[in-house]
Amino acid sequence: MLKIGDIEMKNRVVLAPMAGVCNPAFRLIAKEFGTGLVCAEMVSDKAILHGNKRTMEMLFVDEREKPLSLQIFGGDRESLVEAAKVVDTQTNADIIDINMGCPVPKVTKCDAGARWLLDPNKIYEMVSAVVDAVKKPVTVKMRIGWDDEHVYAIENARAVERAGGKAVSVHGRTREQLYTGKANWDIIRDVKQSVSIPVIGNGDVFSPEDARRMLDHTGVDGVMIGRGALGNPWMLYRTIQYLATGELLGDPAPREKMDVAILHLDRLIALKNEAVAVREMRKHLAWYLKGLPGGARVKDVIMEETDRDRMVAILENYILSLEEEDEQEQNGASSVHTAAEEIIH
């Protein structure tokens, strides 16, 4: 099993800390689907120190989500350390994760996120300062490098280990790649072979079979799933089962998908209020509907919606229409069988 410091997970599947996605509403669903470790979306160190209401809400951890990793980012040592102390003493998160992979310019311009990838010495200084200041285990999530000319994944992971970091998650892309191209699992494997702390692999895990291949190819201690879980927490559950038993479970029925989507919506409303939650839920519903028959048409209607009950009614009517179509198909098939039997007899 995956163990970070003295925190032991019940399996090796980890939900990635996705911005705008991994709030308590979605994290709790991921946990209910069996995920070993869930990671909260990143929070700015300076925002934590300013203590504004929205930021402090982002630090909320439901006891049912634990074990949970709360991720912070920043480019200034003093403010990063002070923010880590807040997470350490004022939240019930289990792990403090430092973001060293965010590629967006507004983060890297502040000398934060993926900008650290260019300087193993800075990584050592920043991580060791945080480790010295807190009691909770400290981990780092990083990319393999800034661009193809600056891939210091091994040096950076070793710096994390020397600084007292308890684990490192490695996304197999450079900052320049963003989310395009292919994740380089070979470099993730090289990192795993270069450090003794746990390594969690991330990138291009979209199916349970992908997770198995990553574990076999890289030898990592855990598999982090991000985009593969969007609107699809079943992917997490199916991966856990596949890794444990080799059994590949089928996809959920459309009604099951919509039931969980509505649960997700209602938890968001409880967190944020209806107007904000319904707007935020539109993107999630686009993911939940992906691949379902006629889902694209329903998505277009939902994108205009601002009311919870109307949104739920649209989903309910959609599912009822799918179920009626299935019933008609089955009745048609059974009448064909009956006619065939009459001809035979």
Token readout for 36 is 């070993």
- Calculate the average pLDDT of the chain: 92
Kindly list the catalytic residues: 102
pLDDT of residue 343: 32
The per-residue pLDDT for range 8-27, each reduced to its tens digit, is 999 999 999 998 899 999 99
Among 27-36, 282-291, 333-342, the least confident range? 333-342
3-state helix, strand, coil in the chain (%, to 5): 55, 15, 30
Torsion of CA 325, 330, 336, 337, to 10 degrees: 180
Sorted by sequence, the CB contacts under 8 Å of residue 333 that are 6+ apart come out as none
Q: What confidence score (pLDDT) does residue 327 get? A: 77
129: exposed, middle or buried (Cβ count in 10 Å: 0-12, 13-18, 19+): middle
Q: Can you read off the two tokens belonging to residue 251?
A: 């996809």
Residue 3 in this model has a pLDDT that exceeds 70: yes
Q: 3-state DSSP call for residue 69?
A: strand
| Residue appearing with tokens 């973001």 | 99
CA–CA distance from 183 to each of 65, 112, 201, 250 (Å)?
29, 22, 10, 26
Mean pLDDT of 83-103: 95
CA-CA distance, 103 to 215, in Å (whole number)?
25
Q: Where does residue 190 rank: exposed (0-12), middle (13-18), buried (19+ CB within 10 A)?
A: middle
pLDDT digits (tens, 9 = 90+) for 187-212: 999 999 999 999 999 999 999 999 99
Q: Residues 135-181: pLDDT tens digits?
A: 999 999 999 999 989 999 999 999 999 999 999 999 999 989 888 88
How does residue 332 score in pLDDT terms, banded at 50, 70 and 90?
low
